[in-house]
Amino acid sequence: MSSLLFTPLKLKSIELRNRIVVSPMCQYSSVDGFANDWHLVHLGSRAVGGAALLIAEATAVSPEGRISPEDLGIWKDEHIEKLKQITDFIAGQGAVAGIQLAHAGRKASTYPAWKGRGQVPLDQGGWKTLAPSPIPFHHSEDTPLELDQAGIEKVVADFAAAAQRSLQAGFKVIEIHAAHGYLIHQFLSPLSNTRTDNYGGSFENRIRILLEVVDAIQNVWPAELPVFVRISATDWVENGWNEEESTKLAQILTDKGISLIDVSSGGLASNAKIPVGPSYQVPFSAKIKKETTALTGAVGLITEAQQAEDILKNKEADLIVMARELLRDPYFALHAAHELGDDVAWPIQYDRAKPAAN
């Protein structure tokens, strides 16, 4: 291949056919956590479209960990069957199936965007949320319940059980969701974590639950398969979680055997002012890649083939994690390869539509 974007990457025992990753994107299309044909087509079409790794949306490790009542879940064995159908299809297209395991914490029990805003009332299917400290995400929301030691231990155990089910469901990569203001991120940030026990205060205490989740997953997940962690590199708010802490955490996670840090930002503070624009989060990935031994994934309004190629050429990331552009164009990878002058295989069913090589 002439481009870096279409150079394979080996992560432990798996090899990605290129550097394009389908970012986990919530579909809010489940009933009781079950995957269905929407998820099959959503993920399957992007595997057909040439992406290397497809990470299923934030998948709740417990019912109370869902962002919305319509979230995908993996808290019971009955969820496995349909997920296995999806991962089998993805593998059949030469791609790798990953899953993002998540707990929404205080940002749980909310409406999908097209159904309204804010928290779902208890009498309409909502539930009481959990958090490291009794601080709501927004002043208009109910105060979450502060997790006690038993509650924290349950969260860690739920992640481990979800990892075991993920393996049975055929996933080859786990991504731990520690970003976007959800539960693990709530522990990381001093804005949402005011605890005075072993899980609050110092940097070492605030990262404790994440490290416990990592250990619990690694105890049940095969050593030859990768585990990623997604972080928000900054809260974009003064005195919040920041780039320096993210860089320090990235090295700790890498030393513990985490294969890649998926570097996003924001989501914790409702008053954050984020300068959104093309590649606006790439500098965070670049900093971590430069200052640690971690492999990184870059995300954030990456929409063009040459833009993605340049990020890799500049050694700002090792993977390109794409969201909205892959909603617009499930076949972005096939189109990008042609644009960059690489001759990649198309699905044989579509081969007659493949453009001539540049």
pLDDT tens, residue by residue, 130-151? 999 999 999 989 999 999 999 9
Residue 116 has pLDDT above 90, yes or no: no
144-153 b/e (C-beta count within 10 Å ≥ 16 → b)? beebeeeebe
Claim: this prediction has a pTM higher than 0.85: yes
> Is 182 in the active site?
yes
Residue 16 has pLDDT above 90, yes or no: yes
Separation in Å, CA 327 to CA 46, 127, 186, 278: 9, 30, 28, 17
Residue 357 has pLDDT above 90, yes or no: no
Q: Return d(Cα 126, Cα 69) in angstroms, integer.
A: 7
Q: Return d(Cα 215, Cα 211) in angstroms, integer.
A: 6
Summarised one tens digit per residue, pLDDT across range 279-325 is 999 999 999 999 999 999 999 999 999 999 999 999 999 999 999 99
Q: Return d(Cα 113, Cα 15) in angstroms, integer.
A: 36
Q: Give the dihedral of Cα atoms 213, 214, 217, 221; nearest 10 deg.
A: 170
Residue 247 has pLDDT above 80, yes or no: yes
Summarised one tens digit per residue, pLDDT across range 189-221 is 999 999 999 999 999 999 999 999 999 999 999
Contact 246, 268 (CB under 8 A): no
Residue 341 has pLDDT above 90, yes or no: yes
Please classify residue 108 by burial: count the beta carbons closer than 10 Å to its beta carbon, then call 0-12 exposed, 13-18 middle and 19+ buried. Answer: buried
Cβ contacts of residue 116 below 8 Å, gap of 6+? none
Number of residues that make up the chain: 358
Q: What is the pLDDT of residue 196?
A: 97
Q: How confident is the model at residue 23 (pLDDT cuts 50, 70, 90)?
A: very high
Nearest to 53 by CA among 278, 225, 210, 216: 225
Write down the catalytic residue from 28, 111, 182, 199: 182
- CATH no. of 9-353: 3.20.20.70
Share of the chain above pLDDT 90, in %: 97
Residue 90 has pLDDT above 90, yes or no: yes
